[in-house]
Amino acid sequence: MRTMSMHAAAGWTMLLAFSGAAIAQERIFVDQWSPTESALMIADADGSNPRKLVAGSERDYNASFSFDGTWVVFTSERHGSADIFRVRTDGTGLERLTDHPAFDDQAALSPDGRTLAFASTRETGSTDIHLLDLGTGSVRNVTRAPGGDYRPNWSPDGSRLAFSSDRGKAPRFAAGRWEHVHEASVHVMRADGSGVRRLTSDGYLAGSPKWSTDGRRLVFYEVAVADTFRARWLPDQAGVDSRIVSVDVATGERTVHATGRGLKLSPQFVGPDRVGYLAKSGPSASLAFSDGSTGATGDIGNPSWSRDGARVVYQRGPIATIARPRAPGEKLQGIDATLDLRYASGFPAVSPDGRRLVVSERTGRGRPDDRTSLAVWSTDGGEPRRIFRGDGSVMSPQWSPDGEWIVFGMGNYFLARTRPGRVMLVRADGSDAHAITQGAGNAGFPSFSPDGTQVVYRYWTDTAGGLRIVTLADGAVRTLTTDYDNFPGWSPRGDRIVFSRLADGDFDIFTVRPDGTDLRQLTTAPGNDSHPAWSADGAHILFSSSRYGFKDEAPLSDIPQAYGELFIMDADGSGQRALTDNRWEEGTPAWVPAVSTTPATAEP
Model pLDDT, residue 54: 96
Note whether 129 and 169 are same-domain residues. yes
Number of H helices, E strands in the chain: 2, 47
The answer to whether residue 18 scores a pLDDT higher than 50 is no
Is residue 277 a part of any domain in this protein? yes
Dist CA 217 CA 214 (whole Å): 8
Band of pLDDT at residue 395, cut at 50, 70 and 90: very high
Predicted pLDDT of residue 596: 37
Q: What is the signed CA dihedral for 486, 491, 497, 502, rounded to 10 degrees? A: -40
Residue 23 is predicted with a pLDDT of 55
* pLDDT interval class at 282 (50, 70, 90): confident
List of residues 6+ apart from 326 with CB closer than 8 A? 36, 343, 345
Whether residue 487 is found in the same domain as residue 567:
yes
Average pLDDT value for the chain: 92
Does residue 129 fall inside a structural domain?
Answer: yes
Single-letter residue type at 12: W
CB 265, CB 221: distance < 8 Å: yes
C-alpha 53/C-alpha 41 separation (Å) is 5
pLDDT tens, residue by residue, 81-128: 999 999 999 999 999 999 999 999 999 999 999 999 999 999 989 999
Of 320, 353, 384, which residue constitutes the final position of a domain?
320
Where is the domain boundary, 320, 353, 383? 320
Residue 59, C-beta contacts closer than 8 angstroms, at least 6 positions apart: 34, 35, 37, 38, 76, 77, 78
Residue 143 has pLDDT above 70, yes or no: yes
118 belongs to a structural domain: yes
Residue 570 in any domain: the answer is: yes
Q: What confidence tier does 170 reach under pLDDT thresholds 50, 70, 90?
A: confident
What is the number of structural domains in the chain?
Answer: 2
Residues 315 and 344 in one domain: no
- For residues 313 and 437, membership in a common domain is answered with no
The verdict on 160 and 96 lying in the same domain is yes
User: Pick from 320, 347, 365: which residue ends a domain?
Assistant: 320
Mean pLDDT of the 201-209 span: 96
Check pLDDT > 70 for residue 588: yes
Residue 22 has pLDDT above 80, yes or no: no
251 Cβ partners below 8 Å, 6+ apart?
Answer: none
Q: What is the pLDDT of residue 24?
A: 61
Q: Are residues 345 and 222 in the same domain?
A: no
Q: What mean pLDDT do residues 292-311 have?
A: 97
pTM of the model: 0.93
Q: State the average pLDDT over residues 384-389.
A: 96
pLDDT digits (tens, 9 = 90+) for 26-37: 999 999 999 999
- Residue 63 pLDDT exceeds 50: yes
% of the chain with per-residue pLDDT over 90: 85
Reference 528, options 172, 30, 232, 225; nearest CA is 172
The closest of 228, 155, 245 to 561, measured between CA atoms, is 228
Pairing of strands 51-52, 60-65: unpaired
Residue 221 lies in a domain: yes
User: Does residue 42 belong to any structural domain of this protein?
Assistant: no
**Pairing mode, if any, of strands 373-378 and 71-76?**
unpaired
98 in the same domain as 174: yes
Q: Mark whether 255 and 356 lie in a shared domain.
A: no
Q: Do 85 and 136 sit in the same domain of this protein?
A: yes
H-helix or E-strand spanning residue 319: helix 318-321
Give the C-alpha separation, 394 to 412, whole Å: 8
Mean predicted confidence (pLDDT) in 176-193: 96
- DSSP code per residue over 3-43: --THHHHHHHHHHHHHTT----BEEEEEEEE--S--EEEEE
271 and 365 in a single domain? The answer is: no
With respect to residue 20, please indicate whether it lies within any of the assigned structural domains.
no
Q: What is the pLDDT of residue 597?
A: 37
Per-residue pLDDT reduced to its tens digit, 500-551: 999 989 999 999 999 999 999 999 999 999 999 999 999 999 999 999 999 9
385: burial class by Cβ within 10 Å (0-12, 13-18, 19+)?
exposed
Domain range enclosing 191 = 52-320
Find the radius of gyration of the CA atoms of the chain.
25
- Please spell the DSSP secondary structure of 538-578, one letter per residue: SSEEEEEE-TT--SS-GGGS--TTTT-EEEEEETTS-S-EE
What is the model's pLDDT at position 391? 85
Q: Give me the pLDDT at residue 1, please.
A: 38
pLDDT at residue 7 is higher than 70? no
Same domain, 496 and 464: yes
Helix (H, G, I), strand (E, B) or coil at 414: helix
Q: How far is CA 74 from the centre of its chain?
A: 19
- Report if residue 246 sits inside a domain: yes
Residue 174 has pLDDT above 60, yes or no: yes
587 C-beta neighbours (distance < 10 Å), count: 23
pLDDT digits (tens, 9 = 90+) for 402-442: 999 999 999 988 766 666 899 999 999 999 999 999 988 99
Burial class (CB in 10 A: 0-12, 13-18, 19+), 532: buried
92 and 204 in a single domain? The answer is yes
CATH number, domain at 243?
2.120.10.30
Taking the C-alpha atoms of residue 509 and residue 527, their distance in angstroms, rounded to an integer, is 12
Average pLDDT over residues 296-321: 97
What does residue 360 show for φ and ψ, rounded to 5 degrees?
-75, 115
For 120, what's the count of Cα atoms within 13 Å in the CB-facing half-sphere? 25
pLDDT band of residue 594 (cuts 50, 70, 90) is low
